[in-house]
Amino acid sequence: MKRNATVVVVGSSNTDMIVQVKDLPRPGETVLGGEFMTAAGGKGANQAVAAARAGARVTLVARVGNDAFGTEALRNLRTAGVDVAQVSRDPAAPSGVALVLVADHGENSIAVASGANDRLSPAHVARASRAFTRAGVLLVQLETPLATVAAAIDRARAAGMTVILNPAPARPLPAALLRKLSIITPNETEAERLTGIAVKSEASARRATTELLRRGVPTVVLTMGARGVLLASVAGCERLPAFRVEALDTTAAGDVFSGSLAAALAQGHTLYDAARRAAAAAAISVTRRGAQPSIPSRVEVERFLSARLPQGAIAAAPGRRGSAAPKK
């Protein structure tokens, strides 16, 4: 497989412990839950699996504990086709765990105990240097130390890779880091945290993307749930409508979107077509429960799109504005 069809993901791996509830509890409230399940999760691992199922070759740089959760996480990643040679095991810290409440209408509430994820260091990124020289796209998030994220971005830029940041969980970020990105993929909450602009409508979303562009990010891909996706760059701004589905669990939708986007860009699709594919993958994922179990395959995404678009529409999309993300 060619270098630019390969993705490196640097990020977290967790085990999700999920309880289905009728409504999310308010502060101080106890609610009786229904179904309980465990599932492989963590933003880094979720995005790596999403990219692999979208057809990319994927290397994950991560850290898990020397425990049963870590063993199971590695097994799940290998099964999904992710290269785990750079997933190290920490002898002192446990694997990350996420406690997830999912309401019947699809919303969720998540608390994370990071464990070994907090011990993923720039040294682990340096040890994975060969993976960077062979890849075209780097995808990072914010569930690991910011110094590690920054080290991965610097290494990717030096290797001429496209750099994608999914800024989740939301936190303020230094302007110097934002200027090193090729693409940022916030949702509405994350865009507000980054810019101070409350994203409540398409108009306010456009203002938030303009602010991120002003701060030096070349391309903003803002996901807006039922309002779709906003693609913004210095060339202009375009909205991609959302696919309408019946949502059961939105837990990993943003991860599925970012991982699928990275894979499609690595495979040479334009930004517009990559975002359509990513939006389709995310739409499929919210109709299923769990994080990694919900992630669709490339074949499923193509069938989903072919059932919703006129014949030839996918082939026509690469000619639209927004070719593959600029290298940095």
Degrees (nearest 5) of the Cα angle 110, 189, 7? 75
| Environment class of 311 (CB within 10 Å of its CB; exposed 0-12, middle 13-18, buried 19+) | exposed
Interatomic CA distance for residues 176 and 32, integer angstroms: 46
Interatomic CA distance for residues 266 and 259, integer angstroms: 11
Length of the chain: 328
CB contact at 8 A, 66 and 43: no
Interatomic CA distance for residues 58 and 86, integer angstroms: 11
249 in active site:
no
Among 83, 90, 249, 255, the active-site one is 255
Phi, psi of 54 (to 5 degrees): -80, 0
Positions marked catalytic: 255
